[in-house]
């Protein structure tokens, strides 16, 4: 008598790297499982980096579509999630470049009259200004700051995603702090 195998338990036991290799070979079920496992992760990254929920939705959908081809470039040298993070980050950059070519502004904030601001609104406004300034930094500095401070990664983890050494990440953060002092 054959034993019943719970497919959801089985698929949860398969590591991402194995699923990625199967998906790269054309296994649709493996690809579907990867997208299902990581869609929220993709969306969260896109939202943090783009700063807009509507853009993040577009980016996440675009990444899922492009992932069918891009998965073939996953070589297993890094964790699947680190590789996926780079894919999403590149998609965010592509969208931002396209928007700037069309003359759109990435961030638009509502103005609040100073006499109407409550203390929490003042803090929220200050945070928006800081993150708006961070988004104006040169690419490497911005990436380092967002990975370390927004994503709470170590300099080593940020270096893995950025494709550079830990000391280079530290230098980019140092330079970003100097640049932000001038912007704020």
Q: State the Cα–Cα distance between residues 56 and 84, nearest whole angstrom.
A: 15
Could you write out the DSSP letters of every residue in 7-68? Answer: HHHHHHHS-HHHHHHHHHTT-HHHHHHHHHHHHHHHHHHHHHHHS-HHHHHHHHHHHHHHHH
Q: Which residue has the tokens 């640049």?
A: 179
> Greatest CA span in the chain, whole angstroms?
76
Q: Which residue has the tokens 């601001």?
A: 117
Distance of CA 91 to the CA centre of its chain: 9
CA dihedral 50, 52, 57, 62 (to 10 degrees): -30
Task: Encode the chain (184 residues) as per-residue pLDDT tens digits.
Answer: 344 434 444 456 788 999 999 999 899 999 999 999 999 999 999 988 888 888 999 999 999 999 989 999 988 888 899 899 999 998 988 888 887 766 544 444 444 444 444 455 666 677 778 878 887 888 888 888 888 888 888 999 888 888 899 999 999 999 988 888 887 7
This prediction has a pTM of 0.63
């Amino acid at each position: 008598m054959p034993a019943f195998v719970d497919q959801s338990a089985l698929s949860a036991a398969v590591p991402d790297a194995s699923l990625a290799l199967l998906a790269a070979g054309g296994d649709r079920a493996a690809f579907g499982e990867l997208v299902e496992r990581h869609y929220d992760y993709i969306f969260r990254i896109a939202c943090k980096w783009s700063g807009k929920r509507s853009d993040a939705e577009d980016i996440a959908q675009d990444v899922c579509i492009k992932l069918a081809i891009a998965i073939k470039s996953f070589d297993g040298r890094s964790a699947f999630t680190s590789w996926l993070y780079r894919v999403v980050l590149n998609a965010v950059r592509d969208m931002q470049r396209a928007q700037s070519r069309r003359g759109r502004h990435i961030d638009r904030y509502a103005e609040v009259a100073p006499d109407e601001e409550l203390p929490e609104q003042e803090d929220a406004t200050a945070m928006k200004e800081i993150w708006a300034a961070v988004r104006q930094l040169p690419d490497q500095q911005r990436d380092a700051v967002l990975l370390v401070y927004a994503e709470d990664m170590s300099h080593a983890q940020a270096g893995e995603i950025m494709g550079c050494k830990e000391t280079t990440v530290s230098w980019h953060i140092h330079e970003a702090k100097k640049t932000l002092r001038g912007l704020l």
